[in-house]
């Protein structure tokens, strides 16, 4: 759930360095817009296959970039299954778990998810899985709203370096990274751009 306004090192804004802004060097593009689209199509089919359809499935996107991922995959599942899929939102504000604010915890904003999660097979969605602390906060918030039948995690990128025993069931791509490296996910709905970049903090 990359947010350039919250010093999120999984997806910072590439801008001119200042005394308060780390210098960042782009190392390469990991995914193009078409590759992101194909990956989401595959993930939508995997969700349907592993859940024996989508009748009991609800998608919950972690704000910010988890939301458009959930919206897009919901549309794809609806095309496959010919029935609507519930979409919800978890709003987690940061101070996010990253290279620069590792000791600061995610803060869940109070608010309704958008549908009743009780007894549902919930697919929790985020753009990048890193230490796992974001997902831990999201799980706590999710269970405050009810008791799902199951919770499955979907991420576009798994970059490793887990600090908690949290793993994704649906993964777009696994990208081994150094701690100085950053995965920057850009989606049209949030960024007006569509690609995944690997960047690096420069000393």
Over the chain, what HEC string results? CCCHHHCCCCCCCCCCCCCCCCEEEEEEEEECHHHHHHHHHHHHHHHHHHCCCCCCEEEEEEECCHHHHHHHHHHHHHHHHCCCCEEEEEEEECCCCCCCCCCCCCEECCCCCCCCCCCCEEEEEEEEECCCHHHHHHHHHHHHCCCCCEEEEEEEEECCCCCCCCCCCEEEEECCCCCCEEEEEECHHHHCCCEEEEEEEEC
pLDDT score of 94 more than 90 = no
Does 185 fall in a domain? no
pLDDT band at 148 (very low <50, low <70, confident <90, very high): very high
Which pLDDT score is estimated for 31?
Answer: 98
**CATH number of the domain encompassing residue 98:** 3.40.50.2020
79 domain-assigned: yes
Express each pLDDT in 23-65 by its tens digit. 889 999 999 999 999 999 999 999 999 999 999 999 999 998 9
pLDDT(124) > 90: yes
pLDDT score for 35: 98
- Residue 203: its pLDDT value, please? 74
Count of domains forming the chain: 1
pLDDT of residue 171: 98
The whole domain housing 95 covers 33-177
The better pLDDT of the pair 69, 106 is held by 69
Tens of pLDDT, residues 8-26: 333 433 444 444 566 889 9
Residue 85 covered by a domain? yes
């Amino acid at each position: 759930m990359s947010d350039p306004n919250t010093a999120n090192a999984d997806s910072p804004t590439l801008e001119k360095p200042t005394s308060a802004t780390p210098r960042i060097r782009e190392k390469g593009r990991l995914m193009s817009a078409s590759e992101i689209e194909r990956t989401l199509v595959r993930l939508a089919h995997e969700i349907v296959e592993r859940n024996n359809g989508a009748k009991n499935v609800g998608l919950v996107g972690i704000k910010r970039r988890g939301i458009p991922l959930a919206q897009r995959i919901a549309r794809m599942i609806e095309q496959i299954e010919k029935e609507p899929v519930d979409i919800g939102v978890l709003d987690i504000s940061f101070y996010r778990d990253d290279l620069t604010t590792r000791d600061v915890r995610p803060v869940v904003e109070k608010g309704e998810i958008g549908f009743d999660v009780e007894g549902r097979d919930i697919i929790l969605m985020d753009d990048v899985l890193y230490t796992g602390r974001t997902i831990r906060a999201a799980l706590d918030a999710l269970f405050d709203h009810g008791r799902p039948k199951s919770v499955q995690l979907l991420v576009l990128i798994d970059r490793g370096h887990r600090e908690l025993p949290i793993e994704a069931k649906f993964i777009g791509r696994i990208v081994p990274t150094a701690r100085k490296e950053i995965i920057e996910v850009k989606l049209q709905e949030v960024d007006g751009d569509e690609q995944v970049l690997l960047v690096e903090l420069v000393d």
